Amino acid sequence: MHDAPGQAEIVEQDRPNWPSSQPLMLLGRARKNRTIRPSNNQYRRLVNTINDLRYDPGYRGYFMFEWGDPIDHLVRFPQLQMQFDQVAIHANGDIVVSPYIPLIIGNVRKHSLQEYYDAGMATVWDKPVITALANRMHSIDEMEEISSLIADINMDGDLYIDLIDDDLGDLSVLSQL
C-alpha cells in the first residue's frame, strides 16, 4: 500500500492489459485478518496515487489502472433494474447474485440453469429481498455488517431462497435484520 509507484513500475514491466485492484474486503475467511485493514486515509492516499499514475502520460508511458468499486453494482443494479448479465455458481452448485451478498438464489444440482433463467434469474435485481439487502450496503463496513447479521459470505449459513421454489418477494425472511 505504501509503494504504489513501485507497484506501478512492476506493472509497467509486466505490461498487463488492464491491471485492477479494489479495497480489501474483510468478508468470509478474511474477517479473521482485521489487523491488516488499512485506514480510510491509507485507502484515500492509495486511490489518489493510482489516479495520479493513471492520468500521467509522462509516467513511463500511459497505462490504465482500474480501481474497482465493490459497492457500485449493489447500488446501480437495483436502481436501474439491471439484467443479470453473468452468473456465479459455486463448486457445490449454489447460484449467487453477488459475491458480496450472503444470499443463494438456487442450486444447479436442484434445477437446471435454464429453469432458473426461465423463472426470472435475468431480472433478479428487481426482487424485493435482493433489493432490500443491496439497499443496506453503501459501504464496505455495511457489507461487513450484513455478513455479521446473516452469515460470513461463502462460510455456510447464507440465506437460501430458491428462485423457483421460494418467494424472493417475501421480505419476512429478512425480519432478523
pLDDT digits (tens, 9 = 90+) for 54-104: 766 665 555 566 667 777 777 777 777 667 667 889 899 999 888 888 888
> Rounded to whole angstroms, how far apart are CA atoms 155 and 151?
7
- Three-state DSSP at 46 gives helix
The pLDDT, as a whole number, for residue 43 is: 75
Higher pLDDT, 4 or 136: 136
The pLDDT, as a whole number, for residue 109 is: 96
Question: What band does 52 get if pLDDT is binned at 50, 70 and 90?
Answer: confident
Q: In the chain, count H helices and then E strands.
A: 6, 6
pLDDT digits (tens, 9 = 90+) for 20-29: 667 667 666 6
The pLDDT, as a whole number, for residue 110 is: 95
Three cell numbers at 50? 493510482
The pLDDT, as a whole number, for residue 82 is: 65
pTM, whole model, 2 decimals? 0.66
The pLDDT, as a whole number, for residue 19 is: 63
